[in-house]
Amino acid sequence: MTKKRTSGTPLPRGQATRERIIGAALEAFAEKGFEGASTREIAERAGTDQGLVTYHFPSKDELWRAAAERIFGDLGKALDERVASLEFDDPKERARGVLREYVRYVARHPELFRFMVAEGNRSNARMRWIIDTYMKPRFEFMKERGVVSAAGIDESDAPYAFYAVTGAASLIFAVAPTCRRLTGVDPRKQQTIEAHADFVARLLLP
Amino acid sequence: MTKKRTSGTPLPRGQATRERIIGAALEAFAEKGFEGASTREIAERAGTDQGLVTYHFPSKDELWRAAAERIFGDLGKALDERVASLEFDDPKERARGVLREYVRYVARHPELFRFMVAEGNRSNARMRWIIDTYMKPRFEFMKERGVVSAAGIDESDAPYAFYAVTGAASLIFAVAPTCRRLTGVDPRKQQTIEAHADFVARLLLP
DNA sequence: TCGAGAACTTGTCGAATGACAAGCTACGGC
DNA sequence: GCCGTAGCTTGTCATTCGACAAGTTCTCGA
């Protein structure tokens, strides 16, 4: 039953805790930024010790990289799945569906946006790699077959559209506690998520 | 010429460095978050020593509070000035003007948005105070006499509109280096700022 | 001009940080 | 069964953190 392993392939047990650590790191990095999140806090969130974090990840940088790959990879997978399952003939209706799915995803993963904003004004090698690997394909998709073409937006406006859509869709979930106090609306409620998805879809694809 | 001072009133010289420290703190907090920004780095940005930071601000918390008051206060003042100077009869045209001024402001102060996102998911006493003091009036203004009413948006959608507008207007400037690499467009250029202002205004107030 | 106090510098403290080394445990191949 | 190693624990290191104390310099009113 057990899979044949070549030497060096991680054991399933180790993989699981490794994944837990990445998840904990993602939360911590999104909440406090790279410098603010300590490896000890990440370990505690993951239910282990600090020593184990440095065992699985030789440095904090490596852990950051793993967390970044995880969240951008997950977004890509989730969107690909949903997009494939949407069967609309009308391109605008299809774009609406994609957009609504995107809002639902960022609502469930507010750490994605916080991570983006926290790290987005650095331009080190790792950030550049993330842009080229994960973000470029999304941007090109949106430009050619997504919201931009469906909404009749000029291609030269694609950069503005990309960041306007991303910001409009995500911010409310990234600052949920603030929103609750300011407006009385709780972004964590399903009802709010759908209402915001509606609003954004109407705004961009009337 | 010199103003009469009662004992204990800070000297002008002290005020100036105090302001410089607040500015440096703002940059650092926006860039690395509260925990990630060190008082020593803030001091260096301000051109002084760490001891002087703790002299002017008894704790890092107090410094954070001063930085938050500064940036939200500045936004309020800037918008009030611009709004007062806009003389449009048509409410929609007026809302467009306000919105474009808002985009220009966040372009010049990208740290505002980074600060909001970094601190917006905490709900401590200081954040609550900032919401009640600085953000509530802005939200009410937008709802009653701003973009929401001008765009014919239902008042119950005001929360979604507020965060959609804020996010759409600001994100591109908060992650400028990323945007440059991803799209080729540099958000720091005046031309880009105006193009984004155009795009957002057309999006929300067609 | 001189004294008082604000403004600033310097040095130091315990606590927390990232990284590492030296062990211990448990699982899977033989 | 038993052995090697991946997985995990524990302890320690130099460095950096926020905070504070003590001392020096500058400014301005009298």
Q: Is A138 on the interface with B (CB under 8 A)?
A: no
Position B6 scores a pLDDT of 39
Q: Is B205 on the interface with A (CB under 8 A)?
A: no
Residue A173 and residue A128 share a domain:
yes
Position A186 scores a pLDDT of 98
Residues A26-49, mean pLDDT to the nearest whole number: 94
Residues B179-200, mean pLDDT to the nearest whole number: 97
Instruction: Name B153's Cβ contacts closer than 8 Å, sequence gap at least 6.
Output: B147, B161
- Residues from chain A that touch B123, judged by Cβ atoms under 8 A, are 177-178, 181
Residue B143 and residue B114 share a domain:
yes
The answer to whether residue A95 sits within a structural domain is yes
Residue B123 and residue B193 share a domain:
yes
Residue A105 and residue A35 share a domain:
no
Q: Which of A53-67, A88-102, B185-199 has the lowest mean pLDDT?
A: A88-102
Residue A144's domain is classified under what CATH number?
1.10.357
The answer to whether residue A4 sits within a structural domain is no
CA closest to C1' of D27 belongs to B11
Please list, residue by residue across B173-196, b when 16 or more beta carbons sit within 10 angstroms of its beta carbon and e when fewer do.
Answer: bbbbbbbbbbbebebeeeebbebb
**Residue A90 in contact with residue A150, Cβ under 8 Å?**
no
The answer to whether residue A5 sits within a structural domain is no
Would the CB atoms of A199 and B157 count as touching at under 8 Å? yes
Check whether residue B149 has its CB closer than 7 Å to nucleic acid strand D.
no
Residues B116-124, mean pLDDT to the nearest whole number: 87
- Residues from chain A that touch B157, judged by Cβ atoms under 8 A, are 195, 199
**Predicted confidence (pLDDT) per residue in B5-26, tens digit:** 334 445 467 788 999 999 999 9
Our measurement of CA B58 to C1' D25, in angstroms, reads: 22
Q: Is the pLDDT of residue A62 over 90?
A: yes
Candidates B124, B162, B171, partner chain A, best to mutate (most A CBs within 10 A): B171
Picking from B167, B64, B161, B159, the residue whose alpha carbon sits closest to that of residue B114 is B167
Check whether residue B13 has its CB closer than 7 Å to nucleic acid strand D.
yes
Residue A192 and residue A104 share a domain:
yes
Q: Is A161 on the interface with B (CB under 8 A)?
A: yes
**Residue B163 in contact with residue A171, Cβ under 8 Å?**
yes
Torsion A159-A163-A165-A168 (CA) sign: negative
Q: pLDDT band at B86, cuts 50/70/90?
A: confident
Q: Is the pLDDT of residue B1 over 80?
A: no
Residue A72 and residue A46 share a domain:
no
The answer to whether residue B146 sits within a structural domain is yes
Residue A122 and residue A102 share a domain:
yes
The answer to whether residue A134 sits within a structural domain is yes
Residue B182 and residue B93 share a domain:
yes
Our measurement of CA A16 to C1' C1, in angstroms, reads: 77
Could you say which nucleotides of strand D lie within 7 A of any protein CB atom? Answer: 6-11, 16-22, 27-29
The answer to whether residue B49 sits within a structural domain is yes
Residue B17 and residue B83 share a domain:
no
The answer to whether residue A1 sits within a structural domain is no
| Residues B87, B80: Cα–Cα separation, whole Å | 13
The answer to whether residue B23 sits within a structural domain is yes
Question: Residue B33 — left, alpha, or beta (φ > 0 → left; ψ -120 to 50 → alpha)?
Answer: left
Position B7 scores a pLDDT of 40
Which tokens in the block code for residue A172?
């409310």
Residue A108 and residue A27 share a domain:
no
Torsion B146-B149-B153-B156 (CA) sign: positive
Residue B36 and residue B129 share a domain:
no
DSSP A131: I
Position B83 scores a pLDDT of 81
Q: Is A83 on the interface with B (CB under 8 A)?
A: no
Phi, psi for B114 (deg, rounded to 5)? -60, -40
Q: Which long-range contacts (CB under 8 A, 24 or more apart) does A150-159 make?
A: A150/A91, A150/A92, A150/A94, A150/A95, A150/A96, A150/A205, A151/A92, A151/A95, A151/A204, A151/A205, A157/B195, A157/B199, A158/B183, A159/B172, A159/B179, A159/B182, A159/B183, A159/B184, A159/B185
Please identify, among A38, A58, A78, the residue that sits at the C-terminal boundary of a domain: A58
Give, to the nearest 10 degrees, the angle between helix B176-183 and helix B158-174: 80
Our measurement of CA A102 to C1' D18, in angstroms, reads: 42
Residue B22's domain is classified under what CATH number?
1.10.10.60
**Predicted confidence (pLDDT) per residue in B12-68, tens digit:** 677 889 999 999 999 999 999 999 999 999 999 999 999 999 999 999 999 999 999
Q: Is the pLDDT of residue A117 over 60?
A: yes
Domains in chain A, number = 2
Q: What integer best gives the mean pLDDT of chain B? A: 89
Candidates B72, B100, B117, partner chain A, best to mutate (most A CBs within 10 A): B117
Instruction: Name B115's Cβ contacts closer than 8 Å, sequence gap at least 6.
Output: B26, B29, B30, B67, B68, B71
Would the CB atoms of B178 and A120 count as touching at under 8 Å? yes
Which tokens in the block code for residue B163?
């965060």
Number of Cβ within 10 Å of residue B122's Cβ equals 15
Please list, residue by residue across A51-83, b when 16 or more beta carbons sit within 10 angstroms of its beta carbon and e when fewer do.
Answer: ebbeebbeebeebbebbbbebbeebbebbeebb
**Predicted confidence (pLDDT) per residue in A169-202, tens digit:** 999 999 999 999 999 999 999 999 999 999 999 9
Q: Is the pLDDT of residue A67 over 60?
A: yes
> Which range marks the domain in which residue A15 is found?
10-58
Candidates A40, A100, A121, partner chain B, best to mutate (most B CBs within 10 A): A121
DSSP B155: G
Would the CB atoms of B120 and A178 count as touching at under 8 Å? yes
Check whether residue B50 has its CB closer than 7 Å to nucleic acid strand D.
yes
Residue B146 and residue B100 share a domain:
yes
Q: pLDDT band at B134, cuts 50/70/90?
A: very high
Q: pLDDT band at B166, cuts 50/70/90?
A: very high
